[in-house]
Structure 1
Amino acid sequence: MATRTGGVIVAAGGSMDGGPAGCSLSGMCDRDRYTPWSVNYTHHDRTYTSMHMALVIGLVAKTSEAKVLYRLGDPEWLSAVVSRLAPTPRWTPLPVRRVSEVIELLGT
């Protein structure tokens, strides 16, 4: 449902997960001993490109590798990262490398 195509598939009765949790990110929080965590992202003004999705996945992976996932909860740091990553062209060959460069520039 994050794209027009996804919305049409769900509306047509397709097999894609739909409804309020159709576009969500979930995981387990180690903070409270593996407490399930989830957030929906269905109400954004624009759709996400495949490059944006690759950058988000890379950002979570790289902050996890560096053991600094808590930085994703820092609004100033996250805003600085997003403002540098958002204009990344769709044809960038190695988006995870771009994420690494930005994280190194801003510090982890």
Structure 2
Amino acid sequence: MATRAGGVLTQLGGGYMDGGLDGCSVSGVVGRYEPWSVNYTHHERTYTSMHMALACDLFAQTSEANLLHRLGDPEWLDGVVARLAPTPRWTPFPGRRVSEIIGLLGT
């Protein structure tokens, strides 16, 4: 998605993901008003739309549970990612899987 061809394919595919150079980034707000963004364009392989949905759910649910500090804990995050990565592409409710894993690994 970070290349011109990837952006075109994303748009032609009719997906809801953003394409182009900003399509491979996660953004948010640090503190009250400071925008934050990180690109993830240099990974060994591409991410599926399910992986992106799981990442979005993970960020949202850790935020809602006041657990964002856990994203900075490498052992906890490795455990979450190891359990989420094999999630099949067509899982009907990926958010449920995220909440189950967060509950399993605890705070």
TM-score tier (shorter): 0.7 to 0.9
Is 1:59 the equivalent of 2:30? no
SS in 2 for 1:37: strand
- For this pair of structures, how many residues does the alignment match? 98
Deviation at 1:93, TM superposition (A): 0.8
Deviation at 1:2, TM superposition (A): 5.0
Kindly report which structure 2 residues correspond to 1:1-108, keeping only aligned pairs within 5 A, or say none.
1=1, 5-6=5-6, 9=8, 16-18=19-21, 21=22, 23-30=24-31, 33-108=32-107
Q: Work out whether residues 3 and 48 of structure 1, in 8 Å CA contact, stay in contact via their aligned partners in 2.
A: no
Equivalent-residue separation in structure 2 for 1:65 and 1:99 (angstroms) = 13
Q: Between Structure 1 and Structure 2, whose CA radius of gyration is higher? A: 1
TM-score where L is the length of structure 2: 0.80
TM-score where L is the length of structure 1: 0.80
Question: Which structure has the higher relative contact order (CA within 8 Å, separation 6+)?
Answer: 1
Deviation at 1:4, TM superposition (A): 8.8
Deviation at 1:37, TM superposition (A): 1.3
Q: 1:22 to 1:49 in 2, by over 3 A?
A: closer
Q: Which runs of 5+ in 2 are unaligned?
A: 10-18
Equivalent-residue separation in structure 1 for 2:83 and 2:104 (angstroms) = 10
Q: Which runs of 4+ in 1 moved over 2 A?
A: 2-5
Q: 1:65 to 1:91 in 2, by over 3 A?
A: same
Q: Work out whether residues 60 and 69 of structure 1, in 8 Å CA contact, stay in contact via their aligned partners in 2.
A: yes
Q: Work out whether residues 2 and 48 of structure 1, in 8 Å CA contact, stay in contact via their aligned partners in 2.
A: no
**Residue type of the alignment partner of 1:24:** S
Q: Work out whether residues 70 and 77 of structure 2, in 8 Å CA contact, stay in contact via their aligned partners in 1.
A: yes
Question: Normalized per residue, which structure has more helix?
Answer: 2
Q: Work out whether residues 29 and 37 of structure 1, in 8 Å CA contact, stay in contact via their aligned partners in 2.
A: yes
Q: Which runs of 5+ in 1 are unaligned?
A: 11-15
